[in-house]
Chains A and B, each alone.
Chain A
Amino acid sequence: MQDFAASFFEAFRLVLGLDPGLIEIVLLSLKVSMTAVFIATIIGLPLGAFLAVTRFPGRGIVIVTVTALMGLPPVVVGLVVYMLLSNAGALGPLQLLYTPTAMIIAQTVLVVPIIAALARQTLEDLNGEYRDQLMLFGLGSLARLRTLLWEGRYSLMTALLAGFGRAVAEVGAVIIVGGNINHVTRVMTTAIALETSKGNLALALGLGLILVIIAFAVNALVFLLRAAAERSAYA
Chain B
Amino acid sequence: MHEVVRSGPQAAAKPILPVSAERLFVRRKGRVLLDIEALTIGGRGTTVLVGPNGAGKSLLLNVLAGLRAPDSGRVLWNGEPPNRQRYCRFGMVLQRPVLLRRSVRANVEFALRAVGSSAEQARAQAHRALEAAGLLALANASARVLSGGEMQRLALTRALAAGPDLLFLDEPTSSLDPASMQTIEAMVRNASEDGMRIVLIAHDLAQARRLGDEIIFMHRGKIVEHAPTDRFFGAPATPEAQAFIAGKILI
Binding site for B on A (CB under 8 A): 129-130, 132-133, 135-140, 143, 146-147, 150-151, 231-235
Contacts and interface: CB of A to CB of B under 8 A. Distances in A.
Contacts of B88: 138
Given A130-B98, A150-B3, A137 B144 contact: no
Contact of B98 (A133, A139, A143): A133
A230 to B, nearest CB: 9
B14 interface: no
Interface string B42-81: 0000000000000000000010011100000000000000
Nearest to A143: B4
Chief secondary structure at chain B's binding surface = loop
Interface string B219-249: 0000000000000000000000000000000
B98 A137 contact: no
Contacts, number: 57
Nearest to B89: A138
Contacts of B4: 137, 139, 143, 147
B114 interface: yes
28 contacts: A130-B98, A132-B94, A132-B98, A133-B94, A133-B98, A135-B84, A136-B65, A136-B84, A137-B110, A137-B111, A137-B115, A138-B84, A138-B85, A139-B114, A143-B3, A143-B4, A143-B6, A147-B3, A147-B4, A151-B100, A231-B142, A232-B102, A232-B142, A233-B101, A233-B142, A233-B144, A234-B145, A235-B142
B169 interface: no
A158 to B, nearest CB: 15
Nearest to B94: A132
B211 to A, nearest CB: 21
A154 B101 CA distance: 11
Nearest to A137: B114
Contacts of B172: none
Given A143-B4, A147-B3, A136 B101 contact: no
B96 to A, nearest CB: 9
4 smallest beta-carbon distances between A and B, as pairs = A133-B98, A137-B114, A138-B84, A232-B101
A170 B212 CA distance: 67
Contact of B6 (A129, A138, A233): A138
Contacts of B98: 129-130, 132-133
Nearest to B110: A137
Contacts of A132: 62, 67, 94, 98
A231 B67 CA distance: 30
Contacts of B110: 137
B198 interface: no
